[in-house]
Amino acid sequence: MRVATWNVNSIRARVGRIVDWLVREDVDVLAMQEIKCRPEQFPSGPFEDAGYELAIHGLNQWNGVAFASRHPMEDVVTSFDGMPGFAKGHEGPDLPVEARAIGATIAGMRLWSLYVPNGRALDDPHYAYKLDWLATLASNVRTWLSETPDQPLALMGDWNIAPTDADVGDPSLVPGLSTHISPPERAAFAEFEAIGLTDVVRPYQPEGYTYWDYKQLRFPRNEGLRIDFILGSPPFADLVTHASIHRAERKGDAPSDHVPVLVDLDLSLHGAGDDEDRPMIFG
């Protein structure tokens, strides 16, 4: 089974190349971010014609997340408990919750497509929102891992954090002045690893960026960032047999500024060697 994540940066602008890639790479499940449309505006036809069903969460022309899957999707939700909201110039409770998370159970695995807030600037309210959003997500993950420790769990998407210096090739990011590389953001990312998730792609693809700004020839100069990740629980990580970053999708006509990140899974490994009472992945 092949599972991938991709910040598509407007699904309506890139539906053709996205569906073409899905079919060409034989992808079973794609988590998308920054679809930039409401469900009724999503170009569903090409996906459905290619054999995919969709779960879509979008509220306006910004943000938005979705799944395309060849397998049935169950227990679809569009937020996690306590997910913070944000509105520019406003503080306090009852802020509008953005379309930044969608979760679904697919083939027995609990998968999330996540678009972590950008942060904008270290002194911007969006930065505090980003850290709060990540802390609340981490709290939820602790609960999920405690309640369903044997279920494969993966958090997939655009994390807007480059967790190590090796993940930074963009010279415009300056330590102490820029988001994405600040110590609090990196600590927030590390917290997910501390509570039991692992970057399941890096062992197979130790180097490489997933994002290049459109400006100043960042892609031809390979001045990118590694900010798109698949973090998996131990049962999910145990299923991974290979992973790859598809850099070539940054080339060609009208590409997204992000590229797909893909993992191959061997679902037969789930529950191998356990007694017959253990829930199997296709229960």
* Locus of tokens 């991938």: 4
| pLDDT value of residue 251 | 97
Contact 144/110 with Cβ under 8 angstroms? yes
Specify the pLDDT at position 104.
98
pLDDT at 92: 73
- Residue found under tokens 């992973």: 243
Axis-axis angle for helices 183-194, 125-147 (nearest 10): 10
How many angstroms from the chain centroid is the CA of residue 228?
6
pLDDT value for 93? 76
Q: Where are the alpha helices (DSSP H) in 7-50?
A: 11-25, 44-49
Q: Which residues contact 135 (CB under 8 A, 6 or more apart)?
A: 188, 191
Which residues of the chain register pLDDT less than 50?
272-283
Nearest to 69 by CA among 28, 34, 101: 28
Provide the H-helix boundaries in the chain: 11-25, 44-49, 125-147, 183-194, 234-237
- What per-residue confidence (pLDDT) applies to 53? 98
253 backbone dihedrals φ, ψ, rounded to 5°: -80, 130
Predicted pLDDT of residue 277: 38
Q: What is the pLDDT of residue 71?
A: 98
Whether residue 129 contacts residue 117, with contact meaning beta carbons closer than 8 Å, is answered with yes
CATH code of the domain occupying 2-269: 3.60.10.10
pTM here is 0.94
**What pLDDT, in 10s, does the model give residues 49-64?**
999 999 999 998 889 9
At residue 227, what is the residue type? I
Who's near 192: CB < 8 A, 6+ residues apart?
A: 138, 141, 155, 231
Query: Within 13 Å, how many C-alpha atoms sit on residue 252's CB side?
Result: 13
pLDDT digits (tens, 9 = 90+) for 138-175: 999 999 999 999 999 999 999 999 999 999 999 999 99
Predicted local distance difference test score (pLDDT) of residue 89: 79
Alpha carbon distances (Å) from 167 to 65, 162, 173 = 24, 5, 11
DSSP tag of 7: E
What is the pLDDT at residue 271?
Answer: 56
Kindly provide the residue ranges of all beta strands, DSSP E only, lying in 132-180, ordered along the sequence. 153-158
Q: Which residues are within 8 A (CB) of 71 and not within 5 positions of it... i.e. 6 or more apart?
A: 28, 29, 106, 107
| Domains of the chain, residue spans | 2-269
Share the mean pLDDT of the chain.
Answer: 94
Q: Which pLDDT score is estimated for 249?
A: 98
Residue 194 three-state SS = helix
First-last CA distance in the chain: 16
Yes or no: say if 31 and 65 are a contact pair by the CB < 8 Å rule.
yes
* Lookup: tokens for 129: 């929102």
Cα separation, 231 vs 193, whole angstroms: 8
